[in-house]
């Protein structure tokens, strides 16, 4: 079935790019092997829903196509940050894309349902465990890099994805099969926790996973690697040649809702937050799912990193924070273990 209407409508809804491909991912066995190796860490939902990732029929019965869209957000190279400051990943510096992108994708699907009443459509933006990057690659939106992110030709990888599954057999786009990386290994070399192998990321070592999804104490050997990342990490994207400044990239449009409100947060401010403060700070943000205890854990590690780099002013404040936590009778074991490791590091 001709796909012109789909393409025109997607652009009308403000998506930066759209492609149509098969609903079944190319390599579900690689995802299964990744889970079998334990690389998903504490994200148990990935293991319990891995059959869904491989079989779109479990998400939308009769699905035969994946209409893939993307919204771009601003990116850049490595940044300068103030003392005692924690950065957040760039995708989370604006409004929550789970809400912004999903709502538009749902309206897009509703319009297509009106245009193609015999078909069914389901919008997915991290709401079900689809292999979105795999599907987007098959739909011709870009190519998967060694850091496992989708690289859009001439635009780079600063983008979030959405998938509209459908039972309508629209004409498909040709995938871009060529390797986007060649001999380049900058992302692998730049990762401070050695989380990346070619086309594979071990979540258990990944700063994004550790700061956002990991609920337990972060292993001591990984503390230094967190650097100044409070929530998320962009290092592999910062160093990627496909993301370096060019005249064409300077003209790239970005979703208005994803333009940054702030670079991050003062670590001392975070350590002084209450749960209500956390909620207020992350209202409307993709980071609202990050738990209060996890943020305090991350802030202690980052402040310790700065002390280890010679910030004596930070040391005074850090010691006071460590003592407060040690004296508390209600603090979690995760924070107690974090305090123990931080004390060992600054002795």
Coil, strand or helix: which one is 326?
A: helix
Q: Which of 55, 57, 126, 311 is catalytic?
A: 126
Helix, strand, coil: what percent of the chain each, to 5?
Answer: 45, 15, 40
3-state SS, 174-213, equals: CCCCCCCCCCCCHHHHHCCCCCEECCEECHHHCHHHHHHC
Q: Which residues pair with 65 in a beta bridge?
A: 22, 166
Taking the C-alpha atoms of residue 158 and residue 160, their distance in angstroms, rounded to an integer, is 7
CB within 8 Å of 302: residues ≥ 6 apart: 86, 226, 227, 228, 229, 230, 267
Examine the residue annotation and report whether 57 is marked as an active-site residue of this protein.
no
Distance, CA of 314 to chain centre? 30
Only one residue has tokens 């290994």, namely 185
Taking the C-alpha atoms of residue 317 and residue 268, their distance in angstroms, rounded to an integer, is 8
Distance, CA of 13 to chain centre? 23
Residue numbers annotated as active site? 126
């Amino acid at each position: 079935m001709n796909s012109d209407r789909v393409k025109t409508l997607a652009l009308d809804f403000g998506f930066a790019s759209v492609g149509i491909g098969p609903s079944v991912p190319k390599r579900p066995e690689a995802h299964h092997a990744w889970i079998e190796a334990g690389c998903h860490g504490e994200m148990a939902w990935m293991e319990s829903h891995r059959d869904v990732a491989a079989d779109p029929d479990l998400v939308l019965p009769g699905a035969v196509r994946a209409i893939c869209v993307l919204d771009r957000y601003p990116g850049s190279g490595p940044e300068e940050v103030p003392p005692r400051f924690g950065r957040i990943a760039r995708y989370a510096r604006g409004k929550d894309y789970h809400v912004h992108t999903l709502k538009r994708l749902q309206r897009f699907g509703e319009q297509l349902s009106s245009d193609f009443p015999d078909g069914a459509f389901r919008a997915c933006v991290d709401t079900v465990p689809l292999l979105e990057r795999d599907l987007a690659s098959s739909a011709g939106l870009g190519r998967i890099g060694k850091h496992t992110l989708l690289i859009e030709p001439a635009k780079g990888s600063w983008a979030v994805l959405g998938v509209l599954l459908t039972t309508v057999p629209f004409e498909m786009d040709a995938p871009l099969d060529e390797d986007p990386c060649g001999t380049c290994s900058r992302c692998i070399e730049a990762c401070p926790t050695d989380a990346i192998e070619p086309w594979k990321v071990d979540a258990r070592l990944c700063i994004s996973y550790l700061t956002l999804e990991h609920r337990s104490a972060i292993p001591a050997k990984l503390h230094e690697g967190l650097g100044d990342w409070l929530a998320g990490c962009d290092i592999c994207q910062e160093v990627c040649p496909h993301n370096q400044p060019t005249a064409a990239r300077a003209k790239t449009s970005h979703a208005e809702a994803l333009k940054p409100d702030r670079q991050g947060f003062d670590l001392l401010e975070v350590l002084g937050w209450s749960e209500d403060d956390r909620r207020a700070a992350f209202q409307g943000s993709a980071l609202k799912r990050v738990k209060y205890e996890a943020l305090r854990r991350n802030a202690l590690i980052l402040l310790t990193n700065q002390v280890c780099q010679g910030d004596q002013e930070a040391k005074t404040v850090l010691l006071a924070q460590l003592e407060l936590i040690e004296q508390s009778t209600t603090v979690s074991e995760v924070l107690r273990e974090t305090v123990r490791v931080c004390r060992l590091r600054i002795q």
